[in-house]
Chain A
Amino acid sequence: MVGVYGNDFTAPDETAPRPATGDEPETFRALLEGEGRVEPRDDLPDAYRRTLVRQIAQHAHSEIIGMQPEGNWISRAPSLRRKAILMAKVQDEAGHGLYLYAAAETLGVDRADLLDQLHSGRQKYSSIFNYPTLTWADVGAIGWLVDGAAIVNQVPLCRCSYGPYARAMIRVCKEESFHQRQGFEILHTLSHGTPAQKAMAQDAVDRYWWPSLMMFGPPDDDSPNSAQSMAWGIKRFSNDDLRQRFVDMTVPQAEALGLTLPDPEIRWNDERGHYDFGEVDFTELFEVIKGNGPCNAERMAHRVRAHEDGAWVREAANAYADKQAARAGADVA
């Protein structure tokens, strides 16, 4: 399965629904070949629709679960300016969730059903959010590395074949690049601060580096559904290409921060015109995907609790809206 926030949603021994091929309406194929945008009113093949729903939903779920690790530091942010920036960032992530659920709804599903699938574990979210934020520097590392990786994954989606998704991604990417800069700035301040602050920054980067590389998903040989998504114009670059792009972008930034990346094999390769880097240990990723990460249970419990605690509020809002409609009807009659 091709994911997005990361491409990391499915372990190799899990079966993602394989999209059926063939039977694609002529108009749809013509749109794709002309690099045109597919819109909700167009005749879409079922498999394309199902793949998109799944991908957009998982992306939306990642945005809202992603509110938790950073939300964890809102009450403890070390200055009022940082607190304000962090509150606004976590709020943006809620906004991203809203845009994406709305994009999914154009495909004929509804947000409430998608949330139920998240809560019951039938749909997933990016594994990166199953890592804990143990120090303030983790907020910086998430902004710099996790939002950074998300941007690399998501910028190509601004040209995705499905119009509503592509348009949502344009708005999201703009905000993610703010987040990335803010994260960089947090780490820059720490790494130029006291020795304790610098150590905090280095520790956070050490812990978040490899999980960030895993956000691009398994190596291309292990990513069986990528080819179909490429053919559909949902995916534009392979997992390994995007991972390389992220490494190339990040290594010089780490130097600017005065922090090291925890990979002794990173070095510039003149021949390739890219940075070489060490092999990612995907056994860890697959463990996290299967539910054995450090915070899987907490993230789900938090989300389910918020949803269940809010049920009476949503019911009241519906009941009130019904009463208002009935009153308006009575007025007209």
Chain B
Amino acid sequence: MTDSHAGYVLGLADDALISAQRMGWWISRAPQLEEDVALANIGLDQLGQARTLLAHAGALEGDGRSEDDLAYLRDERDFRNVKLVERPQTDFAVTMARLLVFATWQAELYAALAGSTDATLAGVAGKAVKEVAYHVDHARQWVLRLGDGTDESHRRMQAAVDAEWPFVEELFRPVDPALVAAGVAADPTVLRAAVLRRVGQVLDEATLSVPDVAPAVAGGRDGLHTEHLGFLLAEMQHLTRSHPEASW
């Protein structure tokens, strides 16, 4: 067990946690009631994954930090999530574009990690694979409806894909080769090909085009985030930090 092992798990945990936090915003704000239910479901799945992964990262780290210590008591620079998930998503098309990319990536990732030599990670991944298959399908259905719906929805869906696309590449940044060699981590280059192919197929079917844009500067895995993350954490952590002696 190495720092990079704990760091790898922490990155995946933070991706799920921050994504769940953004998803929670939609509950009571969705375009229709069925969607309030669906987005809550997806957020709950992500939150569940985050909790197990955080607990596991805490155990690997060996300093006795719990899931809540890691979620509530770390500062912005210590979060390891990709920037894709941390920016606001108050536009439904943006939410679906991001979910399509993120869930497809998680689907490929968890499928690979189900065979990880880290048995805990393999267990989490094995369970999550079924959850994210539903997320991918849900996002796909909406990308199709919006891409191939009205002129307005087509325009908005394409704009959303364009806005998210620079943040896609960060998902495939190299991880510690020793972790891949030890069978702990999944190889990002393998994931990249599969994810881009699957997402490309959906965009194509939705009459949308794959944007030709330069990737944004990566850095989330090193704790270099957008300015949005600080506000998200301020809101999420405030109550817990105001009562350091309390348990809830």
Q: Which residue of B lies closest to A315 (CB)?
A: B150
Find chain B residues with CB under 8 A from A193 CB: 246-248
Contact of B27 among A94, A97, A194 (CB under 8 A): A94
Contact of B47 among A71, A84, A323 (CB under 8 A): A84
Q: Which residue of A lies closest to B242 (CB)?
A: A196
Known contacts A79-B248, A320-B148; A314 and B37 CB within 8 A of each other: no
- Contact stretch, chosen from A224-232, A257-265, A305-313: A305-313
Task: Check if B239 is an interface residue, CB within 8 A of chain A.
Answer: yes
How far apart are the CA atoms of A310 and B150 in the complex, in Å? Answer: 14
Task: Check if B36 is an interface residue, CB within 8 A of chain A.
Answer: yes
Q: Using a Cβ–Cβ cut-off of 8 Å, how many residues does chain B contribute to the interface with A?
A: 48
Find chain B residues with CB under 8 A from A80 CB: 17, 47, 50-51, 54, 67-68, 71
Contact of B240 among A79, A81, A306, A313 (CB under 8 A): A79
What is the distance, in angstroms, from A73's C-beta to the closest C-beta of chain B?
A: 9
Q: Which residue of B lies closest to A73 (CB)?
A: B239
How far apart are the CA atoms of A196 and B40 in the complex, in Å? Answer: 31
A189, A302, A317 interface centre (most CB from chain B within 10 Å): A317
Is B239 within 8 A of A319, CB to CB? no
Task: Check if B146 is an interface residue, CB within 8 A of chain A.
Answer: yes
Find chain A residues with CB under 8 A from B21 CB: 75
Q: 0/1 per residue, B18-46, Cβ < 8 Å to A?
A: 00010011011111111111001101100
Inter-chain CB contacts under 8 Å: number: 143
Task: Check if B89 is an interface residue, CB within 8 A of chain A.
Answer: no
Is A78 within 8 A of B240, CB to CB? yes
Is B246 within 8 A of A315, CB to CB? no
Q: 0/1 per residue, A82-121, Cβ < 8 Å to B?
A: 1110011011001101100100000000010000000000
State the main secondary structure of chain B at its contact with A.
Answer: helix
Is B27 within 8 A of A98, CB to CB? no
Known contacts A76-B235, A306-B28; A319 and B150 CB within 8 A of each other: yes
Find chain B residues with CB under 8 A from A101 CB: 33
Task: Check if A316 is an interface residue, CB within 8 A of chain B.
Answer: yes
Task: Check if B175 is an interface residue, CB within 8 A of chain A.
Answer: no
Contact of A316 among B30, B51, B153 (CB under 8 A): B153
How far apart are the CA atoms of A6 and B51 in the complex, in Å? Answer: 37
What is the distance, in angstroms, from A168's C-beta to the closest C-beta of chain B?
A: 14
23 contacts between A and B (CB under 8 A): A77-B239, A78-B240, A78-B248, A79-B72, A80-B51, A80-B54, A84-B48, A84-B51, A87-B24, A90-B27, A91-B27, A94-B27, A190-B248, A193-B246, A197-B246, A306-B30, A306-B31, A310-B30, A310-B35, A313-B31, A313-B92, A320-B145, A321-B145
- Which residues from chain B sit less than 8 Å from chain A, CB to CB? 17, 21, 24-25, 27-37, 40-41, 43-44, 47-48, 50-51, 54, 67-68, 71-72, 92, 144-146, 148-150, 152-153, 156, 235-236, 238-240, 243, 245-248
Known A90-B28, A318-B149; 10 more pairs at CB < 8 Å? A64-B33, A76-B238, A78-B72, A78-B243, A80-B68, A82-B248, A87-B24, A87-B44, A189-B247, A302-B29
